Structure 1
Amino acid sequence: MTTPFSMCVLMIVGLGVLGLPIGHSMIVASVFYLLLAGLDLGTAAEQILNGLFNSYVLLAVPLFILAADLMNVGTLTDRLLQFCLVLVGRFRGGLGHVNVVSNVIFAGMSGSAIADAVGIGRIIIGMMTKGGKYPIAYAGAITASAAIIGPIIPPSIPMVLYALVSDASIGFLFLGGVVPGLLLGLAFMIMNTMISYRRDFPVEPPVPMREIPRITVKAFPALMLPVILLFGIYGGVMTPTEGAAAAALYALLVSSLLYRSLSLRQLYDAILSSSKATTSVGILIAGALVFNYVVTIENIPNSLQVFMSGFHLSPMGFLLLVNIVLLILGCLLEGSTILLVIVPIFIPTAKALGVDLVQFGVVVVVNIMIGLLTPPYGLLLFIIANMTKQPLGAIVREAIPFILAALAVLMLITFVPETVLWLPRQLGYKG
């Protein structure tokens, strides 16, 4: 028997298969549901307007996107890479380590895996493949893998979206992502070391000691951005949204006035690029707001909670099940869609089982980031394959060890909640 809700879901799938963006598909299908259910069609517009204009936190999304674009068009990325080369370049597989460490540092500025891959990726892949030091596919794979650290270490655009649907504290979510992000970086560096010794990757010549102070001073203004951002937010000086504005302003001032590397044309391109990305995210959020209203009317979250209670799952069993579901969906769907449409369905069950929403949010975001590396949809894989002109299969093969390392970290933060909650609790979190 067909119901309005089943017709709505089928329409979303059908329109998506035909090529309509998922945000538009959800809006059209939700309006169709309202029509079939005999409800006021104006409710769709009401849900979108109320959701977008009453969510002050959403302002952080375009501001973090703009900050990342401004850093990419300036010379901040170049200076950070030179600094990372000083830190870890002298070890076996040094440029692979530079790749990971630079992403860890850049993660404290951008909040976007795509921005990290595009910004750092073009430069570091060129450094790694120059003179045939590393296979192009390997350089691409470690770049894509390291880029997923970006949205886990604060600031984080996916965590902002999770806070929108869960009402969890953005500040504590940001803190919760620090240790898992660092664990991911450590896991990737260990994997890179093992592969480098096995495949005899080169050791970079050490940077002369006399050059280290000069390189550090050049990178210092860029390194101060995450420090200012985090101390401003957790020192009570500004909210995460205000912190996003401060990050964008700081990136603009450093690139244009201090480094003098930002032309008016580059500024225009950065604003245009961030506007396009914001519009894309905005349409997706609008579609999710309307569809989530439909899901609420149909009482889907509570029905799922009742259904899952019949299995008598423990909190850990529930988290394990969510991991499996999200990892499968990550192979098929875009991350923001999962966050805005699928995750809200699980939140009532998580609350009922006593799962901490900060830990749940970090686990969800790590799942979604791993989804960027898993075919057939893995968006980062497509970006890197296009950037390097390598077959997608070659990138995937080289990325498998790093995907396994990421899964190991995911299991750790799932079964050891303190890996996520220790730092928030040190700064007053009572959950």
Structure 2
Amino acid sequence: MEVSALILVVTFFVLLALNVPISFSIGIATLATMLYSIDFVPAITTVAQRMAGGLNSFALLAIPFFVLSGLIMGQGGIARRLIECAMALIGMLPGGLALVNVLSCTLFGGISGSAVAATSAIGSFMIPEMEKKGYERNFAAAVTATAATTGMIIPPSNILIIYAIASGGVSISALFIAGYLPGLLVALALMLVCVVYAKKHNFPTEPVLPLKTVVTKVAAAIPSLLLIIIVIGGIVAGVFTATEAGVIAVLYSMFLSIVLYKEVRVRQLPDILLKSVGITAIVMFLIASSSAMSWILSYENIPQAITDTMLALSENPLLILLIINLILIVVGAFMDMTPAVLIFTPIFLPVAESIGVSPIHFGIMMVLNLSIGLCSPPVGSVLFVSCSVAKTSIEKIIKPMIPLYFAMIAVLMLVTFIPAISEWLPQAMGLMK
């Protein structure tokens, strides 16, 4: 087992260092590990079978539908209406535009399920607007990057669906509901930092709008916000599955963008569909190759060996969870969320369950942890998008982002060591066994 694990790890990281795409790195490392034990033909056949089997899941159909609905929303005027709603509600508070940025990213991320989409859609408007009103451009970019990650925790979230598959069948409905409180806590923590930062730097506030204007702006955003109620309410009530909810999300976002708001033309749909196919293909290939790696990990008994090693170091659950968090924070800084979840869930979930941590609690902790990696150098995709939108560099954005990082890590520690934050809602709704 030791030799197999060494071959797997060394091959994987050498390929990554050579800039081989991560999905190919995973697949080649898996094949190389198998070749140590068996001949080439059965090894490559097994890899192919495991890759195909990893995609043979009805729940995975939800991903292309949520990807498509997110792309339609990004072009359908939904982001602008959410920003105007947030502006009307909290723009007059200290650091008003920064708070509007956080709330808008949270709402749009929760509707679209994409941190990158939230960064692009909200950031393209809010970053120039904040700069125009006297905010530092780098601070505006930092707020957008960190706030956009809430879309990974607040449902509908593709990464929670992927975790459900990787964990061996954890309830998607329970995961979706469990993500609400942690996601809102992250948003509130970021808002608190924004208020303190704004007061320290004397950033301006927005004027109080007349009640009629506030009502108008909020009413304009209600159709968009209804998507959350329709999708999550339908899943929890058992009206439809998460996959069927994805179809509902596509149909509803098309209705909003094409019929109600009239900001997407029918002739634009082929381009949107083509883009969604490209994104889905990348995600599915990652899932397929990671499924093969998960199988070889299990076949070589690597997760059990890691569990035994960690329990030998300490039987203190708090210390073990802290170690897992530290490892995942490092992983998140160098690896995208999807492969990280697919690779490390089979490794760390048995450890967590052995110390009494539920799969729901661990899943939210893991996704929240890896969300920090989305806005962390050197490979944070959201960080790069935010810098691109703001026309700034990573070096300049890091300093104003440090207090925002600390806020996210503080919430991560709360979620890690207080299971009720992620478990209370699904338990109250009878979604946890």
TM-score, normalised to structure 1, is 0.96
Q: Which residue matches 2:316?
A: 314
Deviation string, structure 1 residues 319-350 (Cα, Å, up to 9, x no partner): 11111111111122222121011221111122
- Overall identity of the aligned pairs, in %: 36
Pick which of 266-275 and 147-156 moved more: 266-275
Question: 2 CA distance for matches of 1:332 and 1:395?
Answer: 18
Rounded Cα–Cα distance in structure 2 between residues aligned with 1:380 and 1:91: 27
- AA in 2 matched with 1:311: L
| Partner of residue 226, structure 1 | 228
* 2:135 aligned counterpart, secondary structure: coil
**What is the one-letter code of the residue matched to 1:345?**
I
Following the alignment from structure 1 to structure 2, what is the Cα–Cα distance between the partners of residues 373 and 219? Answer: 27
Alpha-carbon contact 2:109-2:117 (below 8 Å) kept: no
Match of 2:164 in 1: 163
1:120 to 106, 119, 122: 122
Change in CA separation of 1:217 and 1:191 when aligned onto 2, cut-off 3 Å: same
Q: Quick check: 184-193 or 376-385, which moved more?
A: 376-385
| AA matched with 1:195 | Y
1:282-326 C-alpha deviation (Å, 9 max, x unpaired): 111111011111111211011112212212323222211111111
In structure 2, give the amino acid aligned to 1:213. V
Pair 1:15–1:144, CA change in 2 (3 A): same
Q: Is the 8 A contact 2:91 2:100 kept in 1?
A: yes
The alignment status of 1:144 with 2:142, answered yes or no, reads no
Corresponding residue SS for 1:428: coil
Distance 1:104 1:386 in 2: 20
Question: Which of 264, 271, 274 does residue 272 from structure 1 map onto?
Answer: 274
Instruction: Determine if the alignment matches structure 1 residue 368 to structure 2 residue 373.
Output: no
* Deviation readout 1:240-299 (Å, 9 max, x if unpaired): 111111111110111111111111343223222221111111111111011111111211
* Superposed displacement of residue 101, structure 1: 1.0
Q: 1:113-262, aligned counterparts within 5 Å?
A: 113-130=115-132, 132-166=133-167, 167-262=169-264
Residue 47 of structure 1 is aligned with which of 47, 50, 66?
50
Residues 225-234 or 1-10, more deviating = 1-10
- Change in Cα spacing, 1:38 to 1:367, as seen in structure 2 (3 Å) is same
Q: Which runs of 5+ in 2 are unaligned?
A: none
Q: What is the alpha-carbon distance in structure 1 between the residues aligned to residue 323 and residue 354 of structure 2?
A: 15
What amino acid is aligned across from residue 245 of structure 1 in structure 2?
A: V
What is the CA deviation profile of residues 116-160 of structure 1, one whole-angstrom value per residue up to 9, with x for unaligned ones? 111211111122122x52111111000001001111111111111
Structure 2 distance, partners of 1:286, 1:142, is 34
User: Is contact 2:4–2:300 with CA below 8 Å preserved after alignment?
Assistant: no
* Contact kept in structure 1, 2:173 and 2:431, CA below 8 Å: no
Amino acid at match of 2:272: A
Bigger drift between 348-357 and 75-84 goes to: 348-357
Give the conservation status (yes or no) of the 8 Å contact 1:107–1:151.
yes
Task: Give the gaps of 5 or more residues in structure 1.
Answer: none
The residue number in structure 2 matching 1:408 is 410
1:260 match: secondary structure: coil
Q: What TM-score comes out, normalization by structure 2 length?
A: 0.95
Cross-structure match for 2:382: 380
1:206, CA displacement in angstroms? 2.1
Separation in structure 2 between the aligned mates of residue 419 and residue 311 of structure 1, nearest angstrom: 28
Task: Give CA-to-partner distance per residue, 1:73-108, whole Å, 9 cap, x none.
Answer: 111111111111111111121111111111222233
Instruction: State how far apart, in whole Å, the 2-side matches of 1:267 and 1:121 are.
Output: 23
Number of the residue aligned with 1:293 = 295
Secondary structure, counterpart of 1:148 in structure 2: helix
Please identify, of 362-371 and 373-382, the stretch whose mean Cα deviation from structure 2 is larger: 373-382
SS of the residue 1:227 aligns to: helix
CA root-mean-square deviation: 1.6
* AA matched with 2:196: M
Q: Is this contact kept in 1: 2:235–2:241, CA < 8 A?
A: yes
